[in-house]
Structure 1
Amino acid sequence: MTIAADISLAQLPLREELRGQSAYGAPQLQVPVQLNTNENPHSPSPALSADLVSKVEELASSLNRYPERDCVELRAELARYISEQTGIEFSRENLWAANGSNEVLQQLLQAFGGPGRKVLGFQPSYSMHPILSAGTQTTFVNCPRNKDFDLDMDAALAAIDQEQPDIIMVTSPNNPTGNITDIQDIRRIISAAPGIVIVDEAYQEFADTPSACELLVEFPTKLVVSRTMSKAFDFAGGRLGYFVAAPAFVEAVMLVRLPYHLSAISQAVAIVALRHSADTLATVAELVSERERVSAALRSYGYQLTESHSNFLFFGVFHDQHAVWQEFLDRGILIRDVGVKGYLRVTIGLAEENDAFLAAAHDIAAKNL
């Protein structure tokens, strides 16, 4: 028996701006090929798994104590990793970590957004940006991307001038489209911004372009670069996101973070994963190669694609993309309908998963293109 199952959300005293909204979520269906959530399809290496088990066993006897509150050791490991990745020297004071990049973004919005403040975004982009804005009572303003899903820089600069946003969010590589925003365009946006700019680089390890981290010395009071271990790392289940910024931004989110927000186990297993980064990142080159193979095949079947710098492809064009999504599902292939008219998104999986997807895509192209 479920208590009060007949009570609807409409009967609760919900904040007005949340009424009629939908919760974030991708379908979680048990089918042979699941290519809808942009995870790395490779399991953690045996060496990493063994170290994780050993570390958790070591921690077990001390779980009666609260974790290290400021994640000092983890932030030092993240600083080492991002310094190696970018060639720029960062210290732990430049790094902040939380439960996935979603919590990172939420904390930044709690600190710099709120009632009477605005976020400017460029949709279609990560669907959590408007949701997180609503959750922090920050007004989300959309400046639509152009027909190729790139930023329209004239429109972007005009929107900044007109709206005077407190926060600007730029996702590069962009989700769900996979394309990048050139670092010079990011520089122009930061220069024009009256407030802060958050560059969401969740998929940066899959790109062959410079990181916005290169601009942190130039714009220390304006720029925050958000990252995650959920994509390139085989670590989506570990839920670890972080940002790189001037130490003052770390001080700012410490004002709003929950006490002991990262568990001792979360911190420890992330440290282990970072120390095995050579193992985990070895899969990135393979996924990029598979991305190019799948992209070429889809183009040969007649699909249109945006140029992807991520671990997924955005393809179409369909009269009814949801009906096509269902056709893939009927063949045991789960991909993502993100609600952009005419387009679907597919995550790059293992070679055999990609082969199954391409076989379905070949048959579906004959009917729908």
Structure 2
Amino acid sequence: MDPRATVEAMLRHDLRGRTAYGAPQLDVPVALNTNENSYPVPAVVVDAITEAVRLAAAGLNRYPDREFSDLREALAAYLSRCGTPVVPDAVWAGNGSNEVLLHLLQAFGGPGRRALGFTPAYSMHPIITTTTGTTWIDGMRGVEGQGAFDLDVASAVGQVVVHQPDVVFLCSPNNPTGTALGLDVVDAVHEAAPDALVVVDEAYAEFARPGTPSALTLLQGRPRLVVTRTMSKAFALAGGRVGYLAADPAVTDALRLVRMPYHLSTQTQAVALAALANADLMLETVDAIKEQRDRLVSGLAALGLEPVPSDANFVLFGHLPDAGETWQGLLDRGVLIRDVGIPHYLRVTAGTPDETSRFLEAVADLVPTRTGAAP
């Protein structure tokens, strides 16, 4: 018997026929497809991380701090810098924000429960939802007379009222569109779903334009509201795998019921603490990345394409006759970006100035009619 057929027959029925998540990992000169920070970790921080791991290595015969107490304090202090006090007991962390989302769904989702998200949005939300046996509800974006990817109060609340979910996902800034939400949307959804956990995914919050609000300011008095963050993007620690959330301490206490024992290794905690101790230095590249993001927007518009205004470290752009053909044409020129499955649209990460130039030059080669020169 075919081993694959045997395994398929044993697999959970709701997972059969599905394909695993995975962005292409190709060796190319310009990789702008996974919203990584193109700048390496500063040498000073590399030394600090190396020393922190060296000091921790002698104690690897013991399990790590199960409560990751020092890390929670450091993350709370970092979040509090934004102007909204956060206490350590309100913080939870995991191996990337995906594990944090998994913990939330393990605790508040599951068989017989439903999670609602507004797509296009982060593709892992429905995947993680399904793996926990939670039913995924594919809500929709788009507001008549506004941007094609906007989400307003009336639309969001209407869908919440219809579906009555147990978990609601909101992305701000949203991936893959880069658009941010007003706090009125978050608050209205929270009020319209009185029995649901409302999760605001703020993975790209550090890249938001001035005046873009964070849902952290809404946490006080809302025990069903959760804000998730990551150190993968602004902190340039995608390989470190550290994600976290802020919520009422009652939520973080509930997550202890589902996390694996000692889920954050000693090394992971040491790396994250060293990075947070050098937060100002680690975040120095944020403004440079935002500058390249805005350059992408203006450059793509000059080429007659339709970039979506972004509060993230990437730009979604459309008006492509054949997105797949453009994606392949860019790859043939050594530039890898992301096809997110939206017809006529592609997504590009804001990288270094040289990467931006090479991308815009490659796009200019592929665009049939140019309305201006790439900057």
Q: Provide the TM-score with structure 2 as the length reference.
A: 0.94
Once the 2 structures are TM-superposed, how far is the Cα of residue 185 of structure 1 from its aligned partner? 1.4
Check conservation: 2:297, 2:308, Cα contact below 8 A.
no
Could you tell me how far 1:12 is from its partner in structure 2? Answer: 4.1
- Matched AA of 1:287: I
Counterparts of residues 158-307 of structure 1 (less than 5 Å): 158-194=158-194, 195-207=196-208, 208=210, 209-219=212-222, 221-307=223-309
CA distance in 2, matches of 1:41, 1:68: 32
The match for 1:340 among 333, 342, 348 is 342
1:30 alignment partner in structure 2: 27
**C-alpha offsets along residues 265-313 of structure 1, whole Å, 9 cap, x if unaligned?**
0001100000111011110011111111121011010010111000000
TM-score, L = length of structure 1: 0.96
- How many Å apart are 1:155 and its aligned residue? 2.8
Name the CA shift for 1:10/1:66 in 2 (closer, same or farther; >3 Å): closer
- 1:27 aligned partner, one-letter code: P
Give aligned-pair identity as a percent.
47
Structure 1 position 154, deviation (Å):
2.4
Over 3 Å counting, the alpha-carbon distance change for 1:70 and 1:7 in structure 2 is: same
Task: Tell me the secondary structure at the aligned position of residue 314 of structure 1.
Answer: strand
Q: Does 1:316 align with 2:318?
A: yes
Aligned match of 1:117 in 109, 113, 121? 113
Q: Deviations over 1:21-44 (max 9, x none)?
A: 111110000011000010111111
Do residues 89 (structure 1) and 85 (structure 2) align? yes
Distance 1:83 1:320 in 2: 45
Deviation of 1:6 after TM superposition, in Å, equals 5.3
Counterpart Cα distance in 2 of 1:311 and 1:217: 28
Q: Distance in 1 between matches of 2:344 and 2:38?
A: 26
Q: Which moved more, 1:174-183 or 1:314-323?
A: 314-323
Cα deviation for residue 368 of structure 1 reads 9.9
State yes or no: 1:133 paired with 2:134. no
Deviations 1:178-208 (A, max 9, x none): 0011111111111111311000000000003
Unmatched tracts of structure 2, length 5 or more: none
Aligned pair in 2 of structure 1 residues 27, 114: CA closer, same or farther (>3 Å)? same
Q: Kindly state the Cα deviation for residue 9 of structure 1 after the two structures are TM-superposed.
A: 6.8
Could you say which residue in structure 2 is the equivalent of 1:78? 75
Q: Alpha carbons of 1:12 and 1:63: their partners in 2 closer, same or farther (altered >3 Å)?
A: farther
Cα separation, 2, equivalents of 1:247 and 1:30: 43
Q: Aligned equivalents of 1:148 and 1:9: distance in 2?
A: 44
Contiguous gaps of at least 5 residues in structure 1? none
- Greater CA deviation, 260-269 or 86-95? 86-95
Amino acid at match of 1:34: A
User: In the alignment, which residue of structure 1 is the partner of 2:151?
Assistant: 151
Q: Distance in 1 between matches of 2:353 and 2:32?
A: 12
Contact 1:183 1:212 in 2 (8 A): yes
Q: Is the 8 A contact 1:318 1:368 kept in 2?
A: no
Q: Deviation of residue 366 (structure 1)?
A: 2.1
Q: Would you say the 8 A contact 2:200–2:215 is kept in 1?
A: yes
Q: In structure 2, give the amino acid aligned to 1:201.
A: E
Q: Is the 8 A contact 2:119 2:138 kept in 1?
A: yes
C-alpha separation in 1, matches of 2:269 and 2:276: 11
Quick check: 2:91–2:246 contact (8 Å CA) kept in 1? yes
Does the C-alpha gap of structure 1 residues 223 and 340 become closer, same or farther in structure 2, counting only changes over 3 Å? same
Contact residue 304 and residue 370 of structure 2 kept, 8 A: no
Cα deviation, residue 218, structure 1: 3.7
Aligned length: 364
1:19 aligns with 2:16: yes
Alignment root-mean-square deviation, CA: 1.6
Higher alpha-carbon deviation: 11-20 or 355-364: 11-20
| Aligned amino acid, residue 235 of structure 1 | L
Q: Is the 8 A contact 1:299 1:305 kept in 2?
A: yes
1:9 and 1:341 mapped to 2: Cα distance?
36
Query: How much does 1:8 deviate?
Result: 4.5
Deviations 1:100-157 (A, max 9, x none): 0000000000000001101010000000000001000111111111161111432321
Structure 2 residue matching 1:122: 3-state secondary structure: strand
